[in-house]
Structure 1
């Protein structure tokens, strides 16, 4: 008796955008600020700016899970599910707190400043770092005697991958790793060049 993988909660034909949690059908055309900002046309730059502002406003006030909509008495009680994703990562909802923009992105610092502890309380953070890479290292230990596990747990695996792949930034290395072990094998060669953008190869791999 064959049981479809969907029965186990796996949906190989669906990709979720990390910023918003929305479903994206692989192979379907997508237009967003990231794609438009990479195009050399003035019209694309203006649209990219509009899309970025629309995304930030949606996160804050107008979206289905906007921060102002889900707050109660000035506080947000988000839902966290450890090991909720197919890849073993945690999932976040109501709202997707992991989608709060990073400080280095536009309006990121202002967005993060909205989350703070009241007087007399402390705000703590936790990062479930490199879960997929730790699983990969566990599987590889049979072949490398735990060498990769040592790098993942005590070193900087993203810098190592950046140098090995000849990439320009750690963010590119993190993105390429994520797509390598979450994308279906048939789509990796198609997807990775677009994810990494034209700067791939601008740094030479170590000799």
Structure 2
């Protein structure tokens, strides 16, 4: 298995590497175009801010590489948001793999919910092989201020202030808003599913 983690300026790469090692999988971290194109599977992680991350990808031609990949690709957190068509964060056009729009949480004044959402939340309405052997309402770990709307490509849902996409899927592209590498046994199962089942 030739597994690549895309190296860029918004990657939470070390924790993903550790999580993969825990399930016995080695990955290569690189921004080399040919290495990414020739990988069996690609993980596109991310933490940080949308516009600077997109600018970095565009300056290095990684945006074009990513949208033209034909093997399975998994975006994590900001990685998933960058795979959507647009983010409200600094009015950022994104990769456009998914049709969903990324918006900032806006809690009603009478609610005490904090932004960003930090902590464990349950996921439900699970679809696709990415969630094989993952029970509905399993808990995963989230850290984010922006969310992808529910839409055509939603394959898992979470509620925080309102329902939103916990995961997206289109063709060979998958995205999860939560951090599977920090989501204990559930996250390990989802990573195994990406490696073995999709």
Of structures 1 and 2, the larger Rg is shown by 1
Q: Structure 2 length as normaliser, TM-score?
A: 0.22
Structure that is richer in strand per residue: 2
Structure that is richer in helix per residue: 1
